[in-house]
């Protein structure tokens, strides 16, 4: 049996987002889920030019693509604009699959569909990351992992607390449909 190991980094806050990048250990990171502010901070720390806002999806994609040259899977959470992913491989592949060096780096935008009644925004990014990880552990495809992450984030947005008591309420991860995306690069 093959055991896969990976380091998943959820920056949590702009103030600490650059902390791992001050040592050589950051090269062990295989997945990272910054929001746009954290992406900007990390990019500056790594000397990647960045001046970002959610209105400029192409600029966010460009910086995420540059960061993906160092970190295999870059998942930028963008609040109501959805998630942008930069990595080698297709949306139908499991992100756990080792990327082939010959594969082209791709950038995909997964927009949020529909409106959610927001009670609390705290924890939505963390819950997205935990949902995405739950999908990874089930060997789901990228687009299925995003769907699981979105479901977890929506549960957080509807909760009084940053982490809801129950994220899926008996719903099976495998029952969630794949999230739709727009290929950017």
pLDDT at 50: 82
In angstroms, rounded to a whole number, what is the distance separating the alpha carbons of residues 179 and 10?
Answer: 21
Q: Is residue 69 part of a domain?
A: yes
Distances from the Cα of 159 to the Cα of 83, 152, 154, angstroms: 21, 11, 9
Q: Is residue 149 part of a domain?
A: yes
Q: Is residue 20 part of a domain?
A: yes
Mean pLDDT by 10 residues, the chain (185 residues): 76 89 92 95 91 79 95 95 94 79 86 83 88 92 94 86 69 73 87
pLDDT at 173: 65
Beta bridge partners of 108: 85, 183
Q: Is 12 exposed, middle or buried (0-12, 13-18, 19+ CB in 10 A)?
A: middle
Q: Is residue 2 part of a domain?
A: no
What six digits make up the tokens of 72?
């295999």
Q: Is residue 1 part of a domain?
A: no
pLDDT at 1: 52
Radius of gyration for the alpha carbons in the chain, expressed in angstroms and rounded: 16
Residue 122's domain is classified under what CATH number?
3.40.1190.20
Q: Is residue 103 part of a domain?
A: yes
Report residue 14 CA to chain centroid gap.
Answer: 16
pLDDT at 98: 66
In angstroms, rounded to a whole number, what is the distance separating the alpha carbons of residues 137 and 78?
Answer: 24
Q: Is residue 170 part of a domain?
A: yes
Number of domains within the chain? 1
Strand, coil or helix: what is 35? strand
**pTM for the full model?**
0.89
Domain that includes residue 133, residue range? 7-183
């Amino acid at each position: 049996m093959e055991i896969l190991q990976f380091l998943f980094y959820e920056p949590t806050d702009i103030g600490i987002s650059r902390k791992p990048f001050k040592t050589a250990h950051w090269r062990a990171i295989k997945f990272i889920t910054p929001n746009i502010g954290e992406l900007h901070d990390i990019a500056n720390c790594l000397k990647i030019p960045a001046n970002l806002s959610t209105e400029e999806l192409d600029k966010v994609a460009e910086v995420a693509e540059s960061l993906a040259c160092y970190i295999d899977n870059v998942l930028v959470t963008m609040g109501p604009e959805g998630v942008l992913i930069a990595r080698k491989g297709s949306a139908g592949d499991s992100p756990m699959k080792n990327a082939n060096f010959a594969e082209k780096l791709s950038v995909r935008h997964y927009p949020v569909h529909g409106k959610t009644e927001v009670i609390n925004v705290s924890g939505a990014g963390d819950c997205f990351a935990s949902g995405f990880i739950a999908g990874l552990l089930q060997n789901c495809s990228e687009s299925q992992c995003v769907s699981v992450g979105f479901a977890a984030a929506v549960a957080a947005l509807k909760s009084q607390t940053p982490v809801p008591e129950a994220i899926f309420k008996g719903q099976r991860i495998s029952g969630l449909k794949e999230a739709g995306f727009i290929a950017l690069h």
